[in-house]
Amino acid sequence: MSETKNSSKKDAETLSKEKLKASKSYDAKDIQILEGLDAVRLRPGMYIGTTGLKGLHHLIWEIVDNSVDEAANGFCSRIIVTLHKNGSVTIEDNGRGIPVAIHPQKKVSAAEVVFTELHAGGKFNNENYAYSGGLHGVGASVVNALSRWLKLEICRDGKKYIQEYESKEDEHGKVKGGVPLYPLKEVGVSVSTGTSVTFMPDDRIFESIQFNPDTIKEHLEEIAFLNRGLEMIFVIEGETETDSKLYTFRYDGGVVDFVKYINESKNVLYPEPIYISGECDGIKVEIAMQHTDGYTESTFSYVNNIQTPDGGTHEFGFRSGLTRAISEVAKGSGGLKGKESDLLVGDDFREGLTTVILVKMKTVEFEGQTKAKLGNPQAKPAVESVVYKGLIDYFANKKTGKILSSVLEKAVSAAKAREASRKAKEIARQKNSIENSTLIGKLASCTGKNYANNEIFIVEGDSAGGSCKQARDRHFQAILPLRGKPLNVEKKRIDQVLQNEEFRTLISALGAGIGEDFDVDSIKYNKVIILADADQDGFHIRSILLTFFFRYMKPLITNGHVFIGLPPLYRISKKDKIEYVYSDAELPEATKRVGKGYKLQRYKGLGEMDKDQLWETTMDPAQRTLVQVTIEDAAEAEKMISTWMGDNVEKRKDYISEHSNFSRVDSLSEFMNKKK
C-alpha cells in the first residue's frame, strides 16, 4: 500500500518537472496573430455553428438577415434570392444600399470594411437600425471569408458600384479568405437603390456545397409571414428558362396568416385567429393565436425575426398574460364557477393552442451562442402587459366575446385530462410497472457504460429484432423490437399514450421520461436509430415514431439524437463481386457495374438478411448510412405532422399523391431531415 503511494508521488513529481521544462519553450514567438478573416477559416464552426448543411445554409441567412433588417426598419420592400445552376447564390434587396464612402479609420470604402472586417457594421447603435437581428456584426465578412468568390453590387445616390473578392493561396499554400480583387469602383448610373451579393461557398471548407432548395424556400416564406407586406422572391435556375422555378411570398396578414397556415390541416375552434399588438417600454409585440381540437400546445416565438426555439422571457410573459386575462374575464362573466375555476391552470388554457409571438426590441440578449432563448428580463413584463390588455379588450367585444365559451370548454376538458394523465404517470412510476416488467424479454441492452458511444435500434417486429440482435456489437448497440404497430399520438392525450404498451416500453428503454417531465440529459443512448423496412408499413412506423418524438420528446430531435437507418433494397452478386443498392434509381447503374449474369435479390425486410449482411450494410458505423433527423423550421414541421398524421383526409391525400415514395426515407422523416 505504501509503495503504491510513494510510486505515485514520484511519478507526479517527474511529470511536474517535465511540464515545467516544456513551459520554458512557450514564449512570445508562440503567440499567433490571425489577421483579417483568417480566424473564420481556421475555426468556421465558431461563426456558423457547423461546416455541414446547416452551416452552409447559414451563409444565405446571414446576408438575407441584413436585407430583412432594412425591411424591418422601413427601407426595403422586396428581397430576391436566386439559386444559380452553378451552385452560387444571389441575394438582392431594394434597400438603401451599403454605404460606399471612404471609412475614416480604414481608408477604404465602408462597403469593403463590412465585407473584410469582423465586428464591423451599422447596427451597434440605434441610429440606423432601431431593430436588428444581426447584432454581432460578423455576417457579411464571415460569408466572404468562407466563399471561393463573392461579388458585391451596390446602387445608391444615383450610381452603381461593384467589388469582387476571392479566397487566394499565398506562396506557402495558405488560403486567405475574402481578398478584394480591386477597390470598390463606380461602374454606371442607377435610378434604384439596393444591395446585391453573389457568392460561391468554398468546397474546401464545407462538407457539401449543394444547397437544399426546400430549406431555402421554407425559410423565406417564414420571413414573409413575420414581415407584413414584405415580398420574398425565390428563383431556382434550371438548365433552361422553362426549367427555372419562381416562388413569391407576401403576406399582408402577417402573423395572422402564419397561424392560419400552420393550422391549415387542423380543426380550429373559431375561424379567425386572435390578434394582439402593442408596445410597452419600447418593446413592440405582435401575437396571433388560435385554439384547435388537438391536445398539444404549439408556440413559435421570434425576436427581431430570429426564431427562439427554446423560448425565453417573451414566452413567459405571453403565458402569464394569457392565464391572468382569461381567468379574470371568465370569473367576471360567470363562465367559470366554483370548483371549475379552482381546477384550471395555465396549461389548460393553452391546450391545442397555436401561437406565433413576434417581439421587436433594440437591445437583444440571448442565452448561449445559438440565439435559441431570449434572456432579456424586461421582455416578460412588456409582453405580459400587451397580452393581458389585448385579451381583456378582445373578450369584452360583443363580436368576439362569444369565443370565450369555446376556450373555457376546451380548458375544462383539458383539466380533466390532466388529472387523468397525472394518475397514469403515477401508475407508470410505480415499482415493477414501466421500469421493469415491460422491458423483460424485449430490450437487448448493451454492455458499454460510455453514453456517448451507445446507441439503440428501434426495429419492427420479432423477426427483424432477432436478426439485429445477432448482427449487433453488444458492447455499444442495444436492440428494441416493437411488437405491433404503435399508436398514432397526433390525436391522443398523454394519458392515452401511456396506455399503449409499445410506447411504455420505448419510454422505459430511453429512461428520460415523457412530455413536460422529459429530461434529455437523462437519456441512456446518444443515438436513437429507427430501423424499419423499406415498404409502406415501415414508412408508417417511421412516421408514427417521429410524431411521438416530436410531440412528447422534442428535445430528443432538437439535440440531434434521432436517426433513420437505411437498409439496402437490393443485393447484386456475380461470383465474388457484390454490390448493395439503396434505391430504385441507383439500380440500373449498379447492374451495369456488376455486368451480365448477375443475381439480384430484393430485400423485403430486415429479417431476410443474414447477420453479416445486416452488420455490413446497416449497423457497422464505418460503412452504414444514417440520416440525422433535425428540425430547421419548427413551424413547417408542425404543419407537416398535422397534415400527415392528422384527420384531414383531403389534405393527407393531396400530400401523399405529391410526395410519397414508400421505398425510401421520405415524407415526414424526409422533411424533418436536414443532414446526413
Other Cβ atoms closer than 10 A to 579 = 18
Half-sphere exposure of 319 (CA within 13 A, CB side): 17
d(CA 62, CA 41): 16
SS3 assignment for 241-294: HHHCEEEEECCCCCHHHHHHHHCCCCCECCCCCEEEEEEECCEEEEEEEEEECC
CB within 8 Å of 172: residues ≥ 6 apart: none
Pair 235, 81: CB distance under 8 Å = yes
Distance CA 497, CA 548 (A): 9
**Which residue type occupies 464?**
A
CA angle, 656 then 657 then 660, to 5°: 50
The β-bridge partners of 89 are 83, 199
Question: What are the residues whose beta carbons fall under 8 Å from the beta carbon of 654, sequence distance 6 or more?
Answer: none
Q: Residue 63 contacts by C-beta under 8 Å, 6 or more apart in sequence?
A: 91, 139, 140, 143, 197, 199
Per the CB < 8 A criterion, the answer to whether 410 and 351 are in contact is yes
Query: Among this protein's residues, is 533 annotated catalytic?
Result: yes
Amino acid at 298: S
Identify the active-site residue in 535, 586, 608, 647.
535
Catalytic pick among 117, 257, 533, 632: 533
Whole-angstrom Cα distance, residue 216 to residue 213?
A: 5
Active-site entry in 310, 537, 586, 608: 537
Give the three-class secondary structure for 181: coil
Which residue from 93, 92, 81, 115 is spatially nearest to 211, judged by alpha carbons? 81
Give the cell for residue 425. 404517470
Query: 403 CB contacts (<8 Å, ≥6 apart)?
Result: 269, 270, 274, 395
Q: Is 537 a catalytic residue?
A: yes
Q: How far apart are CA 594 and CA 609, in angstroms?
A: 20
Rounded to whole angstroms, the maximal C-alpha distance in the chain is 89
Long-range contacts of 333-336, Cβ-Cβ distance < 8 Å, separation of 24 or more = 333/395, 333/404, 335/404, 335/405, 335/408, 336/408
**What is the rounded distance in angstroms from the CA atom of residue 644 to the CA atom of residue 655?**
7
CA distance 261 to 642: 11
Residue 486 near residue 458 (C-beta atoms within 8 A): no
Beta strands across the sheet bearing 298-303: 274-280, 283-291, 353-360, 298-303, 306-307
Among 210, 209, 201, CA closest to 41: 201
> Are 121 and 129 contacting, i.e. CB atoms less than 8 angstroms apart?
no
Catalytic residue among 202, 460, 502, 616: 460
3-state helix, strand, coil in the chain (%, to 5): 40, 20, 35
Tell me whether residue 430 is exposed, middle or buried, using C-beta atoms within 10 angstroms of its C-beta: 0 to 12, 13 to 18, 19 or more. exposed
Q: Which residues are catalytic?
A: 460, 533, 535, 537
